Amino acid sequence: MKSIADILREIRPEFDFSASNDFLADGMLDSFDVVTLVSALDKNWGISIEGTDIVPENFKNLQAIEALLRKSGAKI
């Protein structure tokens, strides 16, 4: 199974996501990337992230994404 960092690297290989605490403010993810990311997270963990959870604060950094996955039922 891939890690969150692996998935982010596949979507935007040019960025070092470990060096940022706010992917959106730093321009590393845009709204279109978030849609791609949600689909990849769903597939990787066999979950379905709720539409109401697709808000910027849940994709701000690695910790926020991990919290979202747990909330959505992923076993991390």
Partner 1 sequence: MSPVNTVGEVLDAVRRIKAGAAGFCTNLFPSPQKLQSWVDHNELFSEARDGATFFFKKDRDFWHLYFCAADLPGLQLAMNLVPQLTTEPVVADLVGVDAALGGLSSSLETAGFRRYAQLQRMSRAGPGDEAGRAVDDPTVFAEKHDRPAVLELIESLFDRYGEQLPMPYEIESAVDNHQVLAVKRDDTLAGILFFETQGLASAVRFWAVAEKFQSSGVGSALMRRYLQVHSDVRRFTLWVNANNQNAIRKYEHYRYAPDGLVDCILANGLIHP
List contacts with partner 1 (CB under 8 A): 12-15, 25-28, 30-32, 35, 50-52, 56
The type of residue at 68 is: L
CB closer to partner 1 out of 25 and 76 = 25
Q: Residue 51 CB, nearest distance to partner 1 (Å)?
A: 4
DSSP H helices, 1-75, are: 4-11, 31-45, 62-71
Closest approach, Cβ 14 to partner 1, in A, equals 4
* Least distance in angstroms from the C-beta of 62 to partner 1: 16
- What count of other Cβ atoms lies within 10 Å of the Cβ of residue 40? 17
Q: Amino acid letter at 15?
A: F
